[in-house]
Structure 1
Amino acid sequence: MTTQPMLELNNGVRIPQLGFGTFRVDEAQTQRVVETALEVGYRHVDTAAGYYNEAGVGAALRASGLPREEVFLTTKLRNGDQGHDRALRAFEDSRAALGVDVVDLYLIHWPVPAKGLYKETWRALEKLYADGAVRAIGISNFLPEHVEDLLRDAEVTPAVDQIEVHPSFQQRDAQRAATDAGMVVEAYAPLGQAEDLALPGVVAVAEELGVTPAQVVLRWQLQQGRVALPKSVTPERITTNFDVLGFELDEAQMATLDGLDSDVRMFPDPRTAQFTQFRD
């Protein structure tokens, strides 16, 4: 298996560029699915308290027998746990569920601007970072105005902004705000929840190269310098999604995918989203 590319975060920590996403992976399936991903070669797993599958991710990591330092582990704070003290307690719950001493990357999952707590929450993440409980801290779903506001008072610049990016929704302004501040952009829903795989431009490039549409889109994500977090529960797709290192898109093929942006979200608007992520 070809060694996958790594990116260096703004604090020197290295992150595998191709990660395995676990959004909407059922608790009962999580250990099996993540074990499969680790067997295939993934060394970066992304979860969240709001996914309610952290325990399964941790179980898979232990069952894999891989040294802890070989797997980059990300989790995220639930919206309803924002606030300084509450965030610190929530992190301990996540750390216990995962069964690890140190989390590689911890994110504020959504800005929830209506609550006005993300700056206070960021101070809690800065404390976790200073205490060595996390190797890097970052944000998710933060738009340019949220990034600008957070940076006015932040002592530590976020290492990443994890946002929705796929061919039909590229969020170039949000990407630019993150990279201009020194953050790596992480693309969640990198395949557009599979809907983008049917776009004629994607299909045409896949046929040119003799690869799958998913491989084309993931290769496009990597060549543009983003971390990509594909998710699947099917072993065959988990395997093929990882097999994107043996080919490249040329300039024209990259331009084809760049031209597919329709500026239509598939996920909530971070300006208005304020769900707690707690179960009913």
Structure 2
Amino acid sequence: MYKKCIIGMLGNVFISLVNFSESVQNRKISLADLILTCLAISRIGNLFMLLLQSCIKELHPHLYSTFEVKKLVHILWRMTNHLTIWFATCLSIFYFLKIAHFSHSLFLWLKWRMDRVVLGLVLFSLFLVIFDFLWIDKFIGILLTIYITDKGNKTLNSEERSSFHVKILSLGNLTYFIPFVLSLTSLLLLFLSLVRHARNLRLNAKGFGDASTQTHKRAMKMVLSFLLLFTIHSFSIQLMYWTSFTFWKNKLINFLVLVLNIFPSGHTFLLILGNVKLRQAALRLLCHLKRCLML
């Protein structure tokens, strides 16, 4: 648990430092690097909250048992997790608008205003962060009331807990459903663009190994990897809530918390491998560390 959090944080710190140093040298930063940097910073905060939560639970369980601490940690983790998902979604939208080729007027309008589209998504995600914060703040208070009432008899309010659980998951899924649909749409449209591009190449007898085809495939791999990890991540969150509401104390929760690390940590290194600049910087860093160890 601790190792995965620390390794994931180091990977995101690496992305931030590489993009920051290049922006200082060039005195400007591209939209893709800006999104990557914001994504890396939000993931550092998200992994730090997971690490802090685990440390408090193991080292100071009496402190974590207090409602105020548990509520604060959960809200901060939820907000940073929300930002990581939306910045990754913005990256998927950027790949789609940058790489795909369509002649439709709506697509061309979005492509020409790519910066504004991404900014609009960020502002919309911040609006949802506020909604998520108010929702979490309210439902944790209700949950505490049910828990205190039900503390003496775990079966007393089972129907009330089940009804409350369904309402919470229905509202909570909204913040995950929207970015998932946007990313899935980007992936499908990228695939459609690739198919059309390959058909045009075949008609013109130019083959399938051109740079645009490879760029399409790389972008699709990045969006697909995000969707797969995001699906596992979202399912783990919903299962963790359901386990908490139903069983209150279950070892499965500790396993689900461990699974939550896969998305912010694993996707980070996939981004490094899929980005030429970051991959080359990582190789230089590894070579430098290897030389230092050999001295």
Per the TM superposition, whether the score is higher than 0.5 is no
Q: TM-score, normalised by structure 1?
A: 0.27
Structure showing the higher strand proportion among its residues: 1
Structure showing the higher helix proportion among its residues: 2
Which one has the largest radius of gyration?
A: 2
Q: Which has the higher contact order (CA 8 A, sep 6+)?
A: 2
